[in-house]
Amino acid sequence: MKTEITLDGKKIQAQIGKPLIDVASDHGVYIPSLCYMRGKPCLGTCRVCSVRVNGHVMASCTVPVYEGMEVEVDAPDLVDMRKALVEFLFVEGNHNCPSCEKSGRCELQAVGYETGMMVSRFPYRFPVRTRDHASKYIWLERDRCIFCQRCVEFIRDEETGQKIFSIDKRSTHSSIEIDVKLADKMTPKQVKRAADICPVGCIIDKDLGFNKPIGERKYEIKSIKERILKGKTNE
């Protein structure tokens, strides 16, 4: 069933119950996000898609459309807030784009460009995180993990459905972990999928890196905004 909602002052018709972020992109309003994947259950971890609904700031991937909704996306304070959230992620880990295999096809980087980030307003933390390369096919570069939990929820052992990736500890001590036994059973297709859905360069396919020249990489050919607005997904 459809209902009328207000999106940045414009009245639009939207399906009741549909995630707000999808409705916005269907109406040409790009809301950046790093954890949400269209068609998949919402994770609500990155908060980068924050908008104002009836006066309250909330992550638009977590909000289903309901009657009489008034949504603000492009208010200056919200634009700056989303930018600040992206800047937070850049200082929280070590995001060294010049030396990263994922550069050019990294969602965090692409969203950084879309939000107009030039520098972070927060002090760079330079945390010390160890890498994990015990698995046969996957490099785990913990420096770059933003704890979106896409791999935790959507990459599972094909036989048992058990999680392959998990997050250990809490807060600043959190770290992404990999079950090496299960990871070694992954098919090449699944490894590729895991590396592809990782929005940063944390899960790296050991066989792949720097394979495309600068200028021909994913988000250089077509920006993440164009991909979401036209193709409906960032793939």
Partner 1 sequence: MSNVVKNEIASHELPATPMDPAVMAKREEKIQVAMIGLCGCWGCTLSFLDMDAGLLSLLDKINISRASITDIKRIPKRCAIGFVEGGVANDENIETLEHFRENCDILISVGACAVWGGVPAMRNDVTLEACFKEAYIDSPTTVPGTKPVIPFHEDLPLITSKVYPCHEVVKMDYFLPGCPPEGEAIFKVLDDLVNGREIDLPTSINRYD
- Using CB under 8 A as the criterion, which residues of the chain lie in contact with partner 1 when the complex forms? 90, 94, 96-100, 103-104, 109, 112-114, 116, 118-120, 123-124, 126, 128, 214, 223
- Give least dist CB 214 to partner 1, A: 8
Of residues 92, 193, 93, 101, the one with CA closest to residue 143: 93
CB-wise, 131 or 136, nearer to partner 1? 131
CB-wise, 58 or 117, nearer to partner 1? 117
Report angle CA 220, 62, 52 to the nearest 5 degrees: 85
CA dihedral 184, 186, 189, 195 (to 10 degrees): -70
CB-wise, 94 or 149, nearer to partner 1? 94
CB-wise, 122 or 136, nearer to partner 1? 122
- Give least dist CB 39 to partner 1, A: 26
Q: Residues near 173 by Cβ (< 8 Å), separated by ≥ 6? A: none
Distance CA 138, CA 161 (A): 19
- Give least dist CB 18 to partner 1, A: 28
In this structure, the strands spanning 10-15 and 2-7 are: antiparallel
Distance CA 8, CA 127 (A): 39
CB-wise, 124 or 158, nearer to partner 1? 124
- Give least dist CB 119 to partner 1, A: 4
Q: Are 49 and 60 in contact (CB under 8 A)?
A: yes
- Give least dist CB 114 to partner 1, A: 6
